[in-house]
Chain A
Amino acid sequence: MRIAILTALAAAACTSPQIDPGAYFCGPDGACPEGQACNGPDNVCVAASTAKPFECGMGFVDVVGDDTAATGQPVTGLGCVSIQFTTLGCLQAGDIGDWFQFDVPDNCAAVKVDARVSFPVAFERLELQLSKANGPPATMESPCSAPSTADSPEEVRCLSAVLEPGAHYAIGVVPDGTQNCDARCANNRYTFSFQLKAP
């Protein structure tokens, strides 16, 4: 009996953990369990033979010509306390950034912007930059109210800054050059949102 139990335990100990394709999202640098690879369209780990290259996917638009603060997509109609502007975007390989420009109403006593971008950890990390009056952009990062967890498939980065009423600003979503699989996954899709509010 004892020998049988020991043999059964030994046999059980010989197996590797079973991880089926589709069970995990891709990790940083497109990491996946052994024998699996990162599927570009949905950043899910799948059987290596069925993995497809990156594509922006449904609803994630790569707008042409919005690579600088001066040429960014205009966001209009913002009040001192605005509704939240949200958009889905995509940065293909070689895209240096997507910019969103807006004017702060000049009748605000004080105003700040809270911006947030979330993106899969599988591909190149993104950061938020702020530019005033089409000047040189500055990378800004603030603590997020709902940060991503350690095993989350998405990373969140936030920006919070006090703005000057009546001034022209642009916020950029740009790749930060890290975790891009040695340039093999220098792309990403993202959800960007921002809102003007009282400080």
Chain B
Amino acid sequence: MRCVGIAVLGVMLMSGVAPHLAHADVEPVGLPVPRRARRQDVVIDIPGERTTNNKLLLAGIGGAALIAGAIGTYFTLDWKSASDDVAASQPTGEAWTPRHVELVARADRSAGRAGIAYGIGGAFLLGAIVTYIATEPKSTRQIIPTRAPTVTPTQGGMMLGKMWSF
């Protein structure tokens, strides 16, 4: 990063010299216009800012991903609960009854629903990432020439300035 130094060589001219410029709210003369920077010019990158609508859009898509993920987690936990109740690798001492059949069916149902929810959540998440990248606001570059001095009208006179970088 370059340090930018601005020196102002104030030359207060008498108000009679340029009475029509003696107002502080008049635009300064010699403001830089974006163009190809020369070596001595001061270059400032101004990052773009996201609009409120863009932020809301991103928040909406991200929120939808979060909700879908939460639903997927709920069904995953339900699947785990049912699966733990019925899964067995050792003798349980129990008979295989309709209750066990229902537990297996519930586990399979929840597994399917969790998969769907994660799929939707993943799609939203991907959409949020793509939207975030695609709607990234452009940054603008401000080039301030340092070769020419600036003349800025002031109350009762004007100010002569010169900028350079070091």
Contact = CB atoms under 8 A, between A and B. Distances in A.
Interface in B82-97: 82-83, 86-97
The contact size tier of chain A is 20 to 34
A13 B96 contact: no
B111 A15 contact: yes
B108 A10 contact: no
A45 B76 contact: no
Given A27-B96, A33-B96, A33-B104, A6 B86 contact: no
Interface in A89-128: 121-122
Interface stretch (A47-55, A66-74, A146-154, A159-167): A146-154
A24 interface: yes
Contacts of A33: 96, 100, 104
Interface stretch (B3-11, B67-75, B134-142): B67-75
Interface string B103-128: 11001101100110011011001000
A25 B94 contact: yes
B39 interface: no
Nearest to A27: B96
Interface of B is mostly: helix
B129 to A, nearest CB: 10
Given A13-B110, A13-B115, A16-B111, A31 B96 contact: yes
A18 interface: yes
Interface in A1-38: 2-3, 6-7, 9-10, 12-20, 22-28, 31-34
B52 to A, nearest CB: 26
Interface residues of B, number: 38
Interface of A is mostly: loop
A164 to B, nearest CB: 39
Interface in B32-63: none
A17 B86 contact: yes
A14 B96 contact: no
A19 B87 contact: yes
Contact of B118 (A6, A18, A150, A153): A6
Nearest to A155: B95
| Most chain B C-beta atoms within 10 Å of own C-beta, residue among A6, A14, A18, A20 | A6
A153 B96 CA distance: 8
Nearest to A15: B111
A174 to B, nearest CB: 22
Contacts of A121: 95
A14 B119 CA distance: 12
A6 B70 CA distance: 10
Contacts of B104: 16-17, 19, 33-34
18 contacts: A2-B69, A6-B72, A6-B118, A10-B114, A10-B115, A10-B118, A13-B72, A15-B83, A16-B83, A16-B104, A18-B89, A22-B91, A23-B88, A24-B91, A24-B96, A27-B97, A31-B101, A44-B91
